[in-house]
Structure 1
Amino acid sequence: MSDTRSKPRHRRRRTVLLAGAPLAVAAAAALAYGGGFLGAAGADTASAATAAAWADDTADGFASVDAQGQDGTYGGRGGETVTVKTLADLEKYATASKPYVIVVAGAITMDPVGKEIKVASDKTIVGAGTAGHIVGGGFFLGTGVHNVIIRNLTIRDSYQGTWNDKDHDFDAIQMDGAHHVWIDHNDLRRMADGLIDVRKDSTDITVSWNKLSNDNKAFGIGWTENVVTDITIHHNWIRETEQRNPSTDNAAHAHLYNNYLQDDPGTDITSSYGNYSRGRTKMVLENSYFQGVNNPVIKDDTATLVQRGSVFSGTSGRNESGGSAFTPSDFYAYTLDKAADVPGLLKSGVGPRSSIGVGTHQVKAAASTLTVAADGSAQYKTVQAAVDAVPANNTARVDIKVAPGTYRGTVTVPANKPHVTIVGTGSSRKSTVLVEGHAAGSKKPDGSTYGTSGSATVTVLAADTQLRNLSVSNDYDESKDTSIAAQAVALRTSADKVFLDSVITSGDQDTLLLDGAGKRVYMKNSYVVGNVDFVFGGATAVIDQSVITLKKRWDGTSAGYVLAPSTAAGQKGLLVNRTTIGGDVSAGSFHLGRNWHAGGDASLDPQATVRDSTLGAAIKAKPWTDMGGFSWKDDRFAEYRNTGDGAGSASADRPQLSDAQAAQQEVADWLGDWTPTAS
């Protein structure tokens, strides 16, 4: 370019109530430059040590209490673990009399549409990472069924074209008289009737960390004259559902906390009401977040509802409470998150996790592995040779393991070779270095110049590429020839779902080029080093829990720009989150960024947000500036809750997001349905 996770809590705990506990935030400033992986609070990290921990998880909330002869809810733990990919196998093991841990390792389509498998007691049904889908049907837990965990699944698409269609009463999960059931980390959507029904005296239920969306009814509780049901509903994202969010009828104890109810304007589904306490229900509602919901909290005259600590944003209509209820901590211990933090926490934390359902408790096909060592002791001597050996249009992941050393030369992962991981096998990111020294104005052998994008040491054009535990550098020396274009890219990405995990990218001008409108890139636990526009491009990219290091220019002066987004209109741009920005440069000498309208394209709408980060004294008091004749104030630049000597308060020169705006600019908003996981 020219120079113009608070981690979800699942264990049973018998500790004191801790209300309003702050979310854990990693301190990027404490990172050691040459160390191994950085600790990340709330990160969804699968490793050999933790991948199978899910198999020992037990429920919290009312599903954790000792009652009806059942000591909490632990599912099929202790039984055989089986992996299923067909409807016949799923039904065989789910209905069996013995305990089983049933790992769903693919999409299983119900036949006929609307089929609900009758689950027996002592079962865990869990999706393998994000692969487990139940399509066109769901599960039924009948009278007396107990100790069941339904977890980490996507259950979807039995909808037959008419909401509230009693001819197709197909639910995702229905309970009639069951007890001790834990429904956790599922994605439930577009079913013909409701997503979850807790009926006919079902009790000791916990519903946690699920995404319920795009349906007429989220879930209903009750349908009995008896006042029996004890239920905990916490950390669920209920979005674009009209009613029963939930509706709670004749529940003895209903504890709802840290849920996020969202109804966006202009969509096909409009909420009728949010949380509803009816009949003789006793409900406690705490620290939830209601956004755009009509009648967010309602109650019958016969019901009681105690609410405290919730946030209501853009809601309208009834918001009611009254009567005395109960004290949840008399039954179990729990921890409240701050209501203001709930949208961001849930957007990144609900639904299937890639670290659940995998590990030693599942037989998992190993990825193909290629090895590289510069001394000739491996299969290949260069990284490019190993990339060239990957079959075109490969459907399975290929790991390229690179021994410690310095590898000079360019590397390109072409678009027809997705699912490639290039990982250094050394003890730190500095052990394995990929380096070249081309600048935009450098001459190729044929006499032409490389240009900015062509100067990259490593170029990633293939989707689902990962770079891990290595350094990528462009060591072009600007002082040797000041007459040519000095842009010198270390790493260029131009593909969707590129994961940069524990890497160092270093250069001077234009270090990290993130290309491609809407192409998602996620960088974490990493370093970016440079001085001019050294994080730039049109991608939808996140730099998370990392360090951005500012360096002086070739002549020893301190002056530069960190970010230069060239975002297309309607797309998300660059998001810097929980990251430290600083370096051994003069105070007040660097802009956070400027607006790059590539090629003078006025239709672009550059976006950069820097939030929850530590800004060193090098950052200017007016951190944003114009570029190429375009005013940055006409584009999208903002900060939120930054700290450090380079941070500042809101002004015309320093836009700050409101809390409501910040809730829409979380990492999960950038990544959408993609959960980056090292593999």
Structure 2
Amino acid sequence: MSDISGTPRRRHRRRGKALALGVPLTLTAAGALAYGTDLGAFGSGAQHTASAATAAPAWATASADGFASVNALGQNGTYGGRNGKTVTVKSLADLEKYATSSEPYVIVVAATITMNPVGKEIKVQSDKTIVGSGTSGQIVGGGFFLGQGVHNVIIRNLTIRDAYQGVWNDKEHDFDGIQMDGAHHVWIDHNDIRHMADGLIDSRKDTTYLTVSWNKLSQENKAFGIGWTANVTADITIHHNWVRETEQRNPSTDNVAHAHLYNNFLEDVAGTDIKSSYGNYSRGKTNMVLENSYFQGMTNPVVRDATATLVQRGNLFSGTSGKNESGGSGAAWNPKTYYPYTLDKTADVPALLKSGTGPRGSIGTVASTASAKGSKGSTGSTTKAAAAATTLTVAKDGSGQYTTVQAAVNAVPANNPSRVVIAVRPGTYRELVKVPSNKPHVTIQGTGGSRKDTTIVYNNASGTPKPGGGTYGTGGSATVAVEADDFQARNLTISNDFDEGAHQDIAGQAVALRTAADKVFLDGVIVTGDQDTLLVDTASKDKLGRVYMTNSYVVGNVDFIFGRATAVIDKSVITLKKRFNGTSAGYVTAPSTVAGRKGILIADTTIGGDVSDRSFYLGRPWHAGGDASLDPQTTIRNSTLSAAIRTAPWTDMSGFHWKDDRFAEYQNKGAGAGAASSERPHLSDAQAAGQEVADWLAGWTPTAS
């Protein structure tokens, strides 16, 4: 279905390029601590930005997407307190002190803070980022209030819970998780808000330029109310939220000029005491666009007042009943007129949001933040990072330091001692990228609103002729090759688009990403291809290579997750695709694990795709080069398997029998799961206790930096 077009109101201005990067506008000398003051390998043209390194990690300099990113009302996007000091708080007194200050702050909440009295809502002032440190930042018994004119506020990565006073539809206690009255430019992201007395989020009295994303809202009568006004001026984006076990206001959207809801998951779980009365509600004169959202078990999943407008496209409904409405006479409008965004497939939304919403361990967790010394009138002290990150920018249009990703990699000094973030602006970069072994601590990060906005792609295959003679071979075909330890990639797509159908004359193994290093962290990426998509390797047979992938997609058909690394795919989506000729047949994994090491672990992940039932094996043993000493291992646990998976999911390879190696499942579910048998080994509880994610990572805690 085509987009609905419309004309933006004059008070809007599109987001500026400088804000899309998510880098601080104020500069520090932290880069000189790590790299010195000479021009070095960065060159004279890069020195200004390289020496002005970001003193804070990406999460501390992040800016909003959606309507919160739009320049309007004198505010250019929403970036919170990134122009101010970063402080860590562990007490109510310190949290309130910094949140109510007139100065900008990034406030890291690193403890459970209990509100006193119960129901207290801290009156947050403008230019603040309040972010939980990993999963340790919790607000109990109260929340936050943003009053008239408060703007440029980010509330992120927190658990806000338990102001409930024992009355389900509580009319006496107005205890909300986050309440906004007349605020603007607010980003509420990756929080877990639950079990409050009144509402989880209330956006009231013309609050506008609000984005609410990647939150888990649950265990509440009223989830998310919007309105309390006769004006029709508010512009709000609500995307990638998991609204679960809530009765009403999911959200209820009253008199909103532009309400854009997409890729949300509304779930009413059968057999519980909580029963939904309605789902998304377009009230009053609201003009709502509702896209690619998933409704499970909801009563009256989509409701519209006679005076409201509601356009639906791409939504899915499972086990729902009652009203499912659309229509209205309001002016058609297109969200892309105001800001860029990319839709995830609706069918993928439940798995994606179950794994990706709420606080993330990778946000708010570095040692470079300042620490508030006490709870009685103390002041926060600013401490410098021992080795702050340097940011290099890549943009195809020449607005960054480099126009290719490889040029930025080349600019990283050999044996660099600290993190270098290569911030890649949205676009398609058709190039080969190699991070050599002497350039550790590199992050390649897309700066768009979606992992689909930034793509690195090429089309070499194993049999593609090399310019100097010979062919590339499987490993050499990789679009992106990582040979350096402590590498990170996030918020981008890595692809190999080799056309197997058009080139049947050459070997078609075509790698998108090859890792041959230790401590490789892949967070929020898409790795896509056909055969041999993701090669998780090690630098040599005798070296350990740990890879941790989370909140990501892997797409392919034949042996498309393979290699000898100790690799974890956690809380992700593995998408099966048909072969070039339209047939369904394939293998998910092909481990070549060294004996005594751990191989491939897939945990809390969904495996499925638009392929024929019972056509894909979960794996087969790859004894690379016929090496009988290898002991390939794949464990798939606590995951959802579609009907595409064969009932006997493991098979032999090149004369090696899978039963001689290590293949097992544990507590999987879905149409493709099956009972334990000689053809389908299951781990015992005792065995599973030794095959957790932490066992694979062996003391390494992947942390975004």
Asked if 1:53 corresponds to 2:58, the answer is yes
Corresponding residue to 1:362 among 354, 358, 369: 369
Contact 2:351 2:605 (8 Å CA) reproduced = no
* Rounded Cα–Cα distance in structure 1 between residues aligned with 2:94 and 2:621: 50
Number of positions where the alignment pairs a residue of Structure 1 with one of Structure 2: 447
Asked if 1:572 corresponds to 2:572, the answer is no
- Aligned residue number for residue 134 of structure 1: 139
Once the 2 structures are TM-superposed, how far is the Cα of residue 322 of structure 1 from its aligned partner?
A: 0.4
- Aligned residue number for residue 287 of structure 2: 282
Asked if 1:335 corresponds to 2:342, the answer is yes
- Aligned residue number for residue 104 of structure 2: 99
Corresponding residue to 1:321 among 323, 326, 330: 326
* Rounded Cα–Cα distance in structure 1 between residues aligned with 2:162 and 2:285: 34
Q: Mark the CA change 1:156 to 1:608 in structure 2 (over 3 Å): closer, same or farther.
A: closer
Which is higher, the Rg of structure 1 or of structure 2? 1
Q: Mark the CA change 1:212 to 1:162 in structure 2 (over 3 Å): closer, same or farther.
A: same
- Aligned residue number for residue 661 of structure 1: none
The amino acid across from 2:362 in the alignment is: S
Asked if 1:529 corresponds to 2:529, the answer is no
- Aligned residue number for residue 237 of structure 1: 242
* Rounded Cα–Cα distance in structure 1 between residues aligned with 2:249 and 2:297: 16
- Aligned residue number for residue 72 of structure 1: 77
* Rounded Cα–Cα distance in structure 2 between residues aligned with 1:152 and 1:226: 32
Q: Mark the CA change 1:76 to 1:501 in structure 2 (over 3 Å): closer, same or farther.
A: closer
Corresponding residue to 1:183 among 179, 188, 193: 188
Once the 2 structures are TM-superposed, how far is the Cα of residue 343 of structure 1 from its aligned partner?
A: 2.1
* Rounded Cα–Cα distance in structure 1 between residues aligned with 2:671 and 2:702: 21
C-alpha offsets along residues 231-273 of structure 1, whole Å, 9 cap, x if unaligned? 1111111111111110011111111111111222122322211
1:237-386, aligned counterparts within 5 Å? 237-325=242-330, 326-327=332-333, 328-359=335-366, 362-363=369-370
Once the 2 structures are TM-superposed, how far is the Cα of residue 286 of structure 1 from its aligned partner?
A: 0.9
Structure 1: 5+ residue stretches without partners: 1-11, 16-47, 368-424, 433-466, 476-489, 492-498, 503-510, 515-519, 577-584, 599-603, 612-623, 637-666
Structure 2: 5+ residue stretches without partners: 1-13, 18-52, 372-382, 386-436, 441-481, 486-517, 521-536, 550-563, 575-588, 608-617, 643-650, 684-692
* Rounded Cα–Cα distance in structure 2 between residues aligned with 1:329 and 1:573: 35
Q: Mark the CA change 1:280 to 1:129 in structure 2 (over 3 Å): closer, same or farther.
A: same
Contact 1:258 1:339 (8 Å CA) reproduced = yes
Q: Secondary structure at the match of 1:83?
A: strand
Once the 2 structures are TM-superposed, how far is the Cα of residue 539 of structure 1 from its aligned partner?
A: 11
Contact 1:564 1:594 (8 Å CA) reproduced = no
Q: Secondary structure at the match of 2:592?
A: strand
- Aligned residue number for residue 464 of structure 1: none
The amino acid across from 1:274 in the alignment is: G
Contact 2:173 2:198 (8 Å CA) reproduced = yes
Contact 1:561 1:591 (8 Å CA) reproduced = no
* Rounded Cα–Cα distance in structure 2 between residues aligned with 1:606 and 1:204: 43
Q: Mark the CA change 1:549 to 1:294 in structure 2 (over 3 Å): closer, same or farther.
A: same
The amino acid across from 1:214 in the alignment is: Q
Once the 2 structures are TM-superposed, how far is the Cα of residue 152 of structure 1 from its aligned partner?
A: 1.4
Once the 2 structures are TM-superposed, how far is the Cα of residue 632 of structure 1 from its aligned partner?
A: 4.7
Q: Mark the CA change 1:53 to 1:338 in structure 2 (over 3 Å): closer, same or farther.
A: same
Q: Secondary structure at the match of 1:283?
A: strand
The amino acid across from 2:323 in the alignment is: R
* Rounded Cα–Cα distance in structure 2 between residues aligned with 1:76 and 1:354: 21
Contact 1:594 1:625 (8 Å CA) reproduced = no
Q: Mark the CA change 1:166 to 1:632 in structure 2 (over 3 Å): closer, same or farther.
A: farther
Once the 2 structures are TM-superposed, how far is the Cα of residue 562 of structure 1 from its aligned partner?
A: 6.1
- Aligned residue number for residue 160 of structure 2: 155
Contact 1:65 1:71 (8 Å CA) reproduced = yes
Q: Mark the CA change 1:593 to 1:286 in structure 2 (over 3 Å): closer, same or farther.
A: farther
Contact 1:296 1:319 (8 Å CA) reproduced = yes
- Aligned residue number for residue 124 of structure 2: 119
* Rounded Cα–Cα distance in structure 2 between residues aligned with 1:170 and 1:626: 47
* Rounded Cα–Cα distance in structure 1 between residues aligned with 2:55 and 2:85: 20
Asked if 1:202 corresponds to 2:227, the answer is no
Contact 1:541 1:575 (8 Å CA) reproduced = no
Q: Mark the CA change 1:320 to 1:96 in structure 2 (over 3 Å): closer, same or farther.
A: same
The amino acid across from 2:107 in the alignment is: I
Once the 2 structures are TM-superposed, how far is the Cα of residue 103 of structure 1 from its aligned partner?
A: 1.4
Contact 1:178 1:201 (8 Å CA) reproduced = yes
C-alpha offsets along residues 490-523 of structure 1, whole Å, 9 cap, x if unaligned? 99xxxxxxx9759xxxxxxxx9999xxxxx999x
Q: Mark the CA change 1:527 to 1:354 in structure 2 (over 3 Å): closer, same or farther.
A: farther
Contact 2:663 2:681 (8 Å CA) reproduced = no
Asked if 1:174 corresponds to 2:179, the answer is yes
Once the 2 structures are TM-superposed, how far is the Cα of residue 631 of structure 1 from its aligned partner?
A: 5.7
* Rounded Cα–Cα distance in structure 2 between residues aligned with 1:366 and 1:543: 41
C-alpha offsets along residues 279-309 of structure 1, whole Å, 9 cap, x if unaligned? 1111111111112212111111111101111
Once the 2 structures are TM-superposed, how far is the Cα of residue 626 of structure 1 from its aligned partner?
A: 10
Q: Mark the CA change 1:596 to 1:308 in structure 2 (over 3 Å): closer, same or farther.
A: same
Once the 2 structures are TM-superposed, how far is the Cα of residue 321 of structure 1 from its aligned partner?
A: 0.1
* Rounded Cα–Cα distance in structure 1 between residues aligned with 2:80 and 2:634: 51
* Rounded Cα–Cα distance in structure 2 between residues aligned with 1:543 and 1:238: 20
* Rounded Cα–Cα distance in structure 1 between residues aligned with 2:601 and 2:72: 56
Q: Mark the CA change 1:348 to 1:633 in structure 2 (over 3 Å): closer, same or farther.
A: closer
Corresponding residue to 2:623 among 550, 562, 580: 550
Q: Mark the CA change 1:62 to 1:233 in structure 2 (over 3 Å): closer, same or farther.
A: same
Contact 2:605 2:638 (8 Å CA) reproduced = no
CA RMSD in angstroms comes to 5.3
Once the 2 structures are TM-superposed, how far is the Cα of residue 359 of structure 1 from its aligned partner?
A: 3.6
Q: Mark the CA change 1:52 to 1:634 in structure 2 (over 3 Å): closer, same or farther.
A: closer
Q: Secondary structure at the match of 1:312?
A: strand
Q: Secondary structure at the match of 1:270?
A: coil
Once the 2 structures are TM-superposed, how far is the Cα of residue 120 of structure 1 from its aligned partner?
A: 1.2
- Aligned residue number for residue 148 of structure 2: 143
Q: Mark the CA change 1:550 to 1:271 in structure 2 (over 3 Å): closer, same or farther.
A: farther
* Rounded Cα–Cα distance in structure 2 between residues aligned with 1:272 and 1:286: 21
Once the 2 structures are TM-superposed, how far is the Cα of residue 92 of structure 1 from its aligned partner?
A: 1.0
* Rounded Cα–Cα distance in structure 2 between residues aligned with 1:283 and 1:205: 14
Asked if 1:212 corresponds to 2:212, the answer is no
C-alpha offsets along residues 378-397 of structure 1, whole Å, 9 cap, x if unaligned? xxxxxxxxxxxxxxxxxxxx
C-alpha offsets along residues 135-183 of structure 1, whole Å, 9 cap, x if unaligned? 1110011112122111111111111222111222211000111111111
* Rounded Cα–Cα distance in structure 1 between residues aligned with 2:345 and 2:602: 32
Q: Mark the CA change 1:317 to 1:83 in structure 2 (over 3 Å): closer, same or farther.
A: same
Q: Mark the CA change 1:51 to 1:546 in structure 2 (over 3 Å): closer, same or farther.
A: farther
Give the structure-2-normalised TM-score.
Answer: 0.53
* Rounded Cα–Cα distance in structure 2 between residues aligned with 1:593 and 1:272: 52
The amino acid across from 2:176 in the alignment is: D
Contact 1:101 1:125 (8 Å CA) reproduced = yes
1:454-465, aligned counterparts within 5 Å? none
Q: Mark the CA change 1:550 to 1:56 in structure 2 (over 3 Å): closer, same or farther.
A: same
Contact 1:63 1:72 (8 Å CA) reproduced = yes
Contact 2:158 2:359 (8 Å CA) reproduced = yes
